[in-house]
């Protein structure tokens, strides 16, 4: 039995189009793996297969050696696989602090009915402060999320996801739409994540990828073209031809 996430021979087709073609990937504890590839390569589809939004046609998804395909989305979050919340799931009228309280209470099984009960809130307070600090959001704690700059909102998304205490974190384009002047906020936050966490980063921003990933998987037409270290990937002529050439100098 191997620790972490292991995907074996994963297949998925939509109609006649194969979007996952025999994908094999292993994410060990502490992994910093980037999944890159052209638009439509199947990266988001792969993330959706991991989180249970989609079911594969065949293949296995093993978490610490146990096949989790039968688990629904909520079951997979409980098992420790989390994909970042989308900004659209944040509550724009609530403060950063109040937004962060929700997934903590949810995780602890209190849900909305306990919201406002002082004891429970107190228990969550320390954890909220730690998350605010980890994501350098302390000075925005009492600002309503809707008033934050886009880059800060994306940090709140990440912090909310971390509040679920995942073992495997999937980031689908964490820097997309963030102005270049703020993209270091995202890169810094990824670099500060717990070293034990396994992180899969789907991203087109090659500067970010080459800074945070120690392993890169290149997906083309649903199939893995190559997997290697950032150095190996940046040297490979096939990868340069199909994807990197125009993106990375």
Ligand X SMILES: Nc1ncnc2c1ncn2[C@@H]1O[C@H](COP(=O)(O)OP(=O)(O)OP(=O)(O)O)[C@@H](O)[C@H]1O
Q: Max Cα separation, the chain?
A: 60
Told to check if 193 binds ligand X by CB under 6 A, we report no
DSSP notation for 10-49: EEEEETTEEEEEEEEEEE-TT-EEEEE-STTSSHHHHHHH
Least separation in angstroms between residue 84's CB and Mg ion is: 13
Q: Residue 199, SS3?
A: strand
Site for Mg ion in 187-216 (CB under 5 A): none
Residues in the chain: 249
Told to check if 152 binds Mg ion by CB under 5 A, we report no
Q: Residue 88, SS3?
A: helix
**Contact string 3-32 vs ligand X (x = CB under 6 A):** -----------x----x-------------
Least separation in angstroms between residue 105's CB and ligand X is: 32
Told to check if 44 binds Mg ion by CB under 5 A, we report yes
Told to check if 43 binds ligand X by CB under 6 A, we report yes
Spatial CB neighbours of 109, under 8 Å, sequence gap ≥ 6: none
d(CA 133, CA 138): 6
**Contact string 68-97 vs Mg ion (x = CB under 5 A):** ------------------------------
Is the separation of the CB atoms in 170 and 82 below 8 Å? yes
Residue whose CB is less far from Mg ion, 43 or 101: 43
CA-wise closest residue to 213 among 32, 43, 28, 31: 32
Binding-site size for ligand X (CB under 6 A) equals 10
Is the separation of the CB atoms in 23 and 224 below 8 Å? yes
Q: Which stretch binds ligand X (CB under 6 A): 37-45, 106-114, 133-141, 236-244?
A: 37-45
Runs of H (alpha helix) within 135-198:
150-162, 183-191
Least separation in angstroms between residue 203's CB and ligand X is: 9
Between helices 118-134 and 96-107, what is the axis angle to 10°? 110
Q: Which stretch binds Mg ion (CB under 5 A): 41-49, 131-139, 143-151, 205-213?
A: 41-49
Beta-carbon neighbour count of residue 92 at 10 Å? 13
Residue whose CB is less far from ligand X, 14 or 91: 14
* Contact residue for ligand X among 27, 42, 50, 63 (CB under 6 A): 42
* Consecutive H or E run containing 209: helix 206-212
The entry of Mg ion, ligand X, none near residue 39 (CB within 5 to 8 angstroms by kind) is: ligand X
Told to check if 40 binds ligand X by CB under 6 A, we report yes
Site for ligand X in 46-65 (CB under 6 A): none
* Contact residue for ligand X among 5, 7, 31, 41 (CB under 6 A): 41
* Contact set with Mg ion (CB under 5 A): 43-44
* Contact set with ligand X (CB under 6 A): 14, 19, 37, 39-45
């Amino acid at each position: 039995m191997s620790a972490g996430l292991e995907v074996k021979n994963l297949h998925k087709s939509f109609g006649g189009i194969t979007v996952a073609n025999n994908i094999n990937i292993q994410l060990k504890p502490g992994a910093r793996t980037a999944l890159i590839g052209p638009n439509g390569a199947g990266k988001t589809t792969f993330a959706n297969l991991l989180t249970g939004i989609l079911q594969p046609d065949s293949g296995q998804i093993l978490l610490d050696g146990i096949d989790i395909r039968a688990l629904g989305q909520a079951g997979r979050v409980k098992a420790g696989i989390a994909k970042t919340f989308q900004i659209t799931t944040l509550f724009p009228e609530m403060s950063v602090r109040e937004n962060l309280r929700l997934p903590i209470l949810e995780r602890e099984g209190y849900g909305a009915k306990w919201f406002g009960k002082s004891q429970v809130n107190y228990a969550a307070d320390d954890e909220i402060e730690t998350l605010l600090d980890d994501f350098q959001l302390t000075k925005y704690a009492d600002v309503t999320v809707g008033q934050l700059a886009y880059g800060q909102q994306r940090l709140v998304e990440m912090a909310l996801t971390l509040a679920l205490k995942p073992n495997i974190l999937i980031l689908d384009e964490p820097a997309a739409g963030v102005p270049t002047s703020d993209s270091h906020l995202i890169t810094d936050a990824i670099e500060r994540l717990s070293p034990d966490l396994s992180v899969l980063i789907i991203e087109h921003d090659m500067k970010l990828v080459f800074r945070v990933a120690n392993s890169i998987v290149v997906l083309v037409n649903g199939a893995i073209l190559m997997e290697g270290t950032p150095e190996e990937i940046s040297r490979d002529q096939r990868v340069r031809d199909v994807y990197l050439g125009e993106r990375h100098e």
